[in-house]
Amino acid sequence: MSAVPDLFSYRKHWAHKLGPAPELPISRAEMDLLGWDSCDVIIVTGDAYVDHPSFGMAVIGRLLEAHGFRVGILDQPDWTSAEDFRRLGRPNLFFGITAGNMDSMVNRYTADRRLRSDDAYTPNAEAGRRPDRSVTVYAQRAREAYKGVPVVIGGIEASLRRIGHFDYWSEKVRRSALMDSKADLLIFGNAERAVVEVAHRLARGDPIREIRDLRGTAFLRRDLPEGWTLMDSSQIDAPGPLTRYNDPYEPDPACDDRPETSTLHGPPRRSDRATTVVRLPSYEQVRADPVLYAHASRVFHLETNPGNARALVQAHGDRDVWLNPPPIPLTSEELDQIYELPFTRKPHSRYEGARLPAWEMIRHSISIMRGCFGGCTFCSITEHEGRIIQNRSEASILREIGDVRDRAPGFTGTISDLGGPTANMWRLACKDRRIEAACRKLSCVYPDICRNLNTDHGPLIRLYRKARAVPGIKRILIASGLRYDLAVRSPAYIRELVTYHVGGYLKIAPEHTEAGPLSKMMKPGIGAYDRFKALFDKYSKEAGKEQYLIPYFISAHPGTSDADMVNLALWLKRNGFRLDQVQAFLPTPLAIASAMYHTGLNPLKKVRRQSERVAVVRGQRQRRLQKALLRYHDPENWPLLRKALKDMGRADLIGNGKRHLVPSFQPAGTGGVPEGRRKPVKASSRRTPTAASRKPRKRR
């Protein structure tokens, strides 16, 4: 990977002499108390401002402050006019726009496109405090408030919309967020390196239109820079019989010890990658042709390793959306310094007395890493944070535990989580950095764990033991998602986890039992779950504890048939599981599974017009049925399930014996109007509520 300056090596901006603010200001009155006449950067966010390292606006705000910039926060501004965007005055450098910790559409709508009745990132969980597609709306209002001020968009919503993408809520392929927001720059992925560089360049007078060389950024342009080579995406993976590797998991010469070997048909070699840009099919093409959409998705995901990714470009009309390669991962030293910035670890004082569910859930948790090399097709972590794990040091984590003990409001001695995107990928990485830099696999653990992956859980075990030994700490729980296929490689880790870090229940996500859906999810077979459960039960018994696994499953994922869901329901019944909460597949922008949902094709393999067709669950009736099968024990679902089983020729599963899935009788007072009978609200067909009409609706 190319060398980059240390994140904290820049000469600080002049305002560093003012020192850190007790909390970043959200009003002019607070700016006056700090002695500020203006802000250098104003961050606009769809979340309430929580000064905690688990909240993106706080991380970026405190990081820029550490570089000497005065940062203000516009928290959940009234987007119905530009007036509230003038609350802190005109920023000297730029507006930084984010929807918040969640995509605004995922935050506002359920998988059935129904308005949610609450918002965990808003005081008192009040719904309706952010608009649909918040990044676009906020950017437009900021531009209206102060013309000529650069607008930089980022966060997960912008990151997942950096090229033409399928939008589930409108059932359309939408343009890049750059086009709709009219922003000057889009920062995708982990934003720290790019946002610091942008701030320093703007501070020294560089026009934002000239900032075009930063990794992890996207922008609009009309021409090809001098000295660059343009490659069509069909040279990488043409929708036809040209590409050698039909399966991304076949042996690949890029995944060995020869980093200069190309995985393409011919040049350019890696030495040319720095000045090669790959042209994806245009927005107009992917909107019109599902095959080209699936092809673009495949090529996009093949160009996500910072060690070998090339720039990408996609035409939108007469302009190109240009994506530089992903950012270089942060070092442990850089990550440590970020997490040890002077966070108050609590919501802004303006919200005093209000309940903030998202903060309450994580306020006593510790993030120990970023990224995920699992590559699950329905998940957006990889697209946003990358596959290379970024680790904090053991010493920094232990210092933060002490900080939580001493300063966190309401702390009673229990750390609620030591984790991140996953619980047990801390310090796991490729055994050879040269192999890691050359690899183009989509996952390090599917269809099996890569032989080049270090799976030693020893450092994590030692971290757990040292964390438990911190004075004043009564208990350390692990709540992040566990990769049980990795954990079974280290029985000692499972013993440590089960003996000391499980609070009676451990959530785990096998997602399905059947090979068809699992192959489209890139998840391990149910056998890995069975092996983990056997060890979990064994070590729980040895510890004298009665503990249980709580499995999570997904319905309606691409590749899932009704018969698959029946088999899953039978498995649940055999194993005595009665799920209270179930998850229906929700296609998020850029995810591979979303490309499957939209196109009916499988981008995990070579995309052809005669490619494998993927079964897709679209209609509300079938989605409702698959969800009901996960809750086979609920009498309200029995009429629907009996009819479906008869239609499927599986009436043998209706009866009152142990081998039956649903009984033949119906309890009085149950089985009325089926859940979801009413039509869902389409996000594209409703008005965004105005400030005067924001009323939460009950979840149906």
What residues are paired with 548 via a beta bridge? 505
Find out whether the peptide bond into 357 is cis, omega within 30 degrees of 0: no
SS3 of the chain: helix, strand, coil, percent, to 5:
35, 15, 50
**Nearest-CA neighbor of 60 among 154, 186, 181?**
154
Element (H, E) at 221: strand 217-221
Tokens of 311: 């720039």
**Nearest-CA neighbor of 320 among 433, 135, 179?**
179
Whole-angstrom distance, CA of residue 609 vs CA of residue 220: 31
376 is in an annotated binding site: yes
Distant-in-sequence, close-in-space partners of 91: CB < 8 Å, separation ≥ 6 = 38, 39, 40, 41, 42, 72, 146, 149
Tokens of 408: 């966190």
Counting Cα atoms < 13 Å in the Cβ hemisphere of 345 gives 22
**Nearest-CA neighbor of 339 among 404, 268, 255, 436?**
404
Phi-psi region of 520 (alpha: psi -120 to 50; beta: other; left: phi over 0): alpha
Q: How far is CA 478 from the centre of its chain?
A: 20
379 is in an annotated binding site: yes
First to last CA, the chain: 49
CA distances to 359, 363, 413, 426, 526 from 397, in Å? 19, 15, 16, 12, 34
- Annotated binding residues for [4Fe-4S] cluster, as ranges? 372, 376, 379
Binding site per annotation, positions: 372, 376, 379
